[in-house]
Structure 1
Amino acid sequence: MIVCRFCFVGIMALAASAAMVPNNDTQHFVRTFSGFFVPVTDEPIDFLDVQEGSGSGFYEPKKEHHPPVVRKRYYVSKEASQFLTGRLMTVFVPTVYTFVFIISAPLNAFALVMFVRRVRPKKPAAIYMLNLACADLLFVLLLPFRIAYHYNGNNWTYGAGLCRVVTSAFYCNMYCSVLLMMCISVDRFVAVVYPMDALTWRSPRTAAVVCAAMWLLSVGGVVPLLISEQTVRLPDLGINTCHDVQDTDFRAYYVYFFPIFSALFFFIPLIFTAVCYVRIIQALCAANVENRAKKTRAVFMAATVFAAFVICFTPTNIILLSHYVRFVNKHSEESYAAYLISMCLGSVSCCLDPLIYYFGSSQCQKQVVAYLRCRSATEVERLESSNSTRSSKLETFKSNVSSQYRKLIA
């Protein structure tokens, strides 16, 4: 009878647990794929505590009741399971990240060395580009973790702590790049539109303070990601996800956190960047410059830099914001899948930034050419000074010849 009783209780517990599994129509969706859980309860066990009866010579059993132990077993929808295990996430995304890493890592490392050792004296623009190269390099150095994670079927095998660190650093470096691009646009706006005031406003010390503030702001923005759990075990798929699945208990928290995060770190910088580059292009077009080719090149570079900024980062953040708008009205996981793809494609900006350094800075071009020709920075400076001296002598000679010619024909 005791065995039957335990069997009956176990069957009833299993039936109750199965009834609690939500279907696709009652799921709660958060920023990432929703991970609704089923509480699996271990039935209490009655332990017999044998105590000696008082004066009877017999042992009297006493039952001790232990509370049930509840464990969480996470599940995702069928669509999320297909996406997590599909070729798009396990082949395409890590392949793109691999190409970005192979191209961007050496380019940004080379740019970092050039700005540290070659570009002298340190100008405000060079300081901003130095920090941007550092942010891009740190970003791509984290890509091997994500590449291995996606190639392994979105299975994180490096521990929960490292998942939090990698996720936080990934967002920190990505949005720090956005903030530094905004600073570069403001710096160029001041230099082009207000050239006289720029002599006072633009200084290496000011640029260093602004860059330090951008780094502190980026680090502070990802602290909530660093202190919250990012790994979720999916028993049906046999994988441990990192940041791609979140507990529905955090849905109210993420509904407010990520829109504020996206607005602060992208949409506000986007407004500043757009206004600055529009004013820069207007000022360049209105400038009376004899060398029209140089003027056209400057306008083209400003438009190219702004277009690269918009193309690489705008789709990711618009999809992220629309995900929350849809979350309030209806449930859908397609938007987060699109967000992962757009974020992957947006990482190509790390490959474009070093090209912007080269084509946007004449000083950087000279140093790169000198480096490729195995010349030192002092040799380049000496050549530049000699060239300037030669050109000044040539101008003096031309002016003397013209004055003598005027005397002859007088």
Structure 2
Amino acid sequence: MESATRDEMVCNQTAAWDWVYTMQPAYMSIICFLGVIGNSFVLCVFCLQRRHSSVADIYLSNLAAADLLMVLCLPFWVTTIIHKFHWRFGEPMCQLINIVIGMNYYCSVLFITAVSVDRYLALTRPLSQGRKRQAFWARGICFSIWIAGILLSFPALLFRSVEYFPDLGIYACYVAYPHQGWRLRYNMTVNIVGFLIPVPIVSFCSQKLRKYSRNSVERKAEYLVLVVLAVFILCWLPYQILIFLDTLYYYNIISGCTWVHVLDISNQLTTYLGYSNSSLNPFLYVIVGKHFKRR
């Protein structure tokens, strides 16, 4: 019985990874194509408009730029997964690509937070903002968000490397933490900074906006922020759950070889589901953003 069970588990794991090798490259290619077209279009609309950009425009254009940078990195991983995770682009590109991808996650959620806080302050305290809401300050905040995104994704530079795995016959681009404490720090940073702090802030601002929205334009702006947040949560919540489960595994609350394989495969699926958020945002602007459509 035990031998048959093990054989069945190996068969299921092999079938699952075969599915990843087959489906993920096609799925990622679609994300890449739609993301490049959509985010390039959004940036063109924001950059070529004649009137001065509003504070919200600056945040949303930076969000589009972050999304565009991320989807431009996906072809490297498409090629890698097709070759069963054999990395062909050298260690510097391994580090650079993963810094950009990691930076996108933090920058995206922080730009969404900045937009929602700006809309909340603009409606609830219109006379107290003064220079703080000027484009100069918005660009300074965006610059700070980019720096924060780089710093938060810095472990990709410190611990990402290309190593040869003789059992698999491949050179893999992977994270090799010097000790497991770094793994726990990464998990907590993703859960807290990337989700538990910004999502309640955006939700609070959105709820308050309903009370202060005076006209249809303000209500549509609030609705766009809500939809962007909802899609972000739908795309990234499975990854957040996975990271939480990985933390439980770290503390041996869950254990066993089955969980190792479940977490490994789920990491692939939830990560690229999250990446699809970068290709969906431009279409949300067009579908939901009436002001953007007029431009």
CA shift for structure 1 position 133: 0.9
Shift of 1:132: 0.8
On the 8 A contact 1:129/1:357 being kept in 2, the answer is no
Structure 2 CA distance for partners of 1:114 and 1:303, relative to 1, 3 Å: closer
Q: Does 1:150 align with 2:75?
A: no
* One-letter amino acid matched to 2:200: I
- Please report the TM-score for the alignment, with normalisation by the length of structure 2: 0.84
Distance (whole Å) between structure 1 residues aligned to residue 83 and residue 247 of structure 2: 29
Give the letter aligned to residue 358 of structure 1: V
Aligned amino acid, residue 274 of structure 1: S
Secondary structure of 2:168's match? Answer: coil
Rounded Cα–Cα distance in structure 2 between residues aligned with 1:125 and 1:261: 25
1:18 matched to which residue of 2?
Answer: none
**SS state at 1:230 partner:** strand
Q: Following TM superposition, by how much is the alpha carbon of 1:325 offset from its aligned partner in structure 2, in angstroms?
A: 1.6
* Cα shift at 1:358: 3.2
Could you say which structure has the higher strand fraction? 1
Q: Within the alignment, does 1:270 sit opposite 2:193 as a pair?
A: no
Answer yes or no: is 1:169 the counterpart of 2:100. yes
What does residue range 321-332 of structure 1 map to in structure 2 within 5 Å?
321-329=244-252, 330-331=254-255, 332=259
Q: CA deviation at 1:226?
A: 0.4
Query: Would you say the 8 A contact 1:179–1:214 is kept in 2?
Result: yes
Q: Say whether 1:358 aligns with 2:286.
A: yes
- Counterparts of 2:11 and 2:162, CA distance in 1: 20
Amino acid in structure 2 at the alignment position of 1:160: E
> 1:79/1:86 Cα in 2 relative to 1: closer, same or farther (>3 Å)?
same
Deviation of 1:79 after TM superposition, in Å, equals 9.0
Q: Are 1:239 and 2:167 matched, yes or no?
A: no
Q: Choose 1 or 2 for highest CA Rg.
A: 1
The farther-off stretch of 339-348 and 197-206 is: 197-206
Alpha-carbon distance in 1 for matches of 2:152, 2:221: 35
Give the AA of the match of 1:314.
L
Residue in structure 1 matched with residue 239 of structure 2 by the alignment = 316
Higher RCO (C-alpha under 8 Å, 6+ residues apart): 2
What secondary structure is seen at the aligned counterpart in 2 of 1:127? helix
| Identical positions, percent | 23
Aligned partner letter, 2:198: P
Q: Which residue of 1 aligns with 2:6?
A: none
1:281 to 210, 216, 223: 210
Change in Cα spacing, 1:266 to 1:201, as seen in structure 2 (3 Å) is same
Q: Structure 1 length as normaliser, TM-score? A: 0.62
| 1:97, distance to aligned residue in structure 2 (A) | 0.9
Structure 2: segments with no counterpart, 5+ residues: 1-8
Aligned to 1:219: 150
Alignment match of 2:275 (pick from 344, 347, 357): 347
Tell me how far 1:152 sits from its aligned partner. 1.2
Q: Secondary structure at the match of 2:179?
A: helix
What is the CA deviation profile of residues 54-89 of structure 1, one whole-angstrom value per residue up to 9, with x for unaligned ones? xxxxxxxxxxxxxxxxxxxxxxx9699737x82232
Residue matched to 1:378 = none
Q: Give the counterpart letter for 1:328 in structure 2.
A: Y
Q: Please say if residues 116 and 205 of structure 2, whose CA atoms lie closer than 8 Å, have aligned partners that are also in contact.
A: yes
The answer to whether the 8 Å contact 1:119/1:126 transfers is no
Q: CA deviation at 1:96?
A: 1.3
Question: Runs of 4 or more off by more than 6 Å in structure 1?
Answer: 77-81
Q: Distance in 2 between matches of 1:233 and 1:79?
A: 25
Establish whether residue 96 from structure 1 lines up as the match of residue 27 from structure 2.
yes
1:19 maps to which residue?
none
CA-based RMSD: 2.7
3-state SS in 2 of match to 1:354? helix
Aligned residues of 1:221 and 1:261 also touching (Cα < 8 A):
no
Q: Within 2, Cα distance between the matches of 1:256 and 1:172? A: 16
- SS in structure 2 opposite 1:242? strand
* 1:281–1:302 Cα contact (<8 Å) kept: no
Shift of 1:272: 1.4
Q: What is the aligned length?
A: 282
CA shift, 1:275, in A, is 1.4
Asked if 1:304 corresponds to 2:232, the answer is no
Counterpart Cα distance in 1 of 2:67 and 2:199: 18
Change (3 A) 1:177 1:196: same
Per the TM alignment, residue 209 of structure 1 is displaced from its structure 2 partner at its CA by 0.7
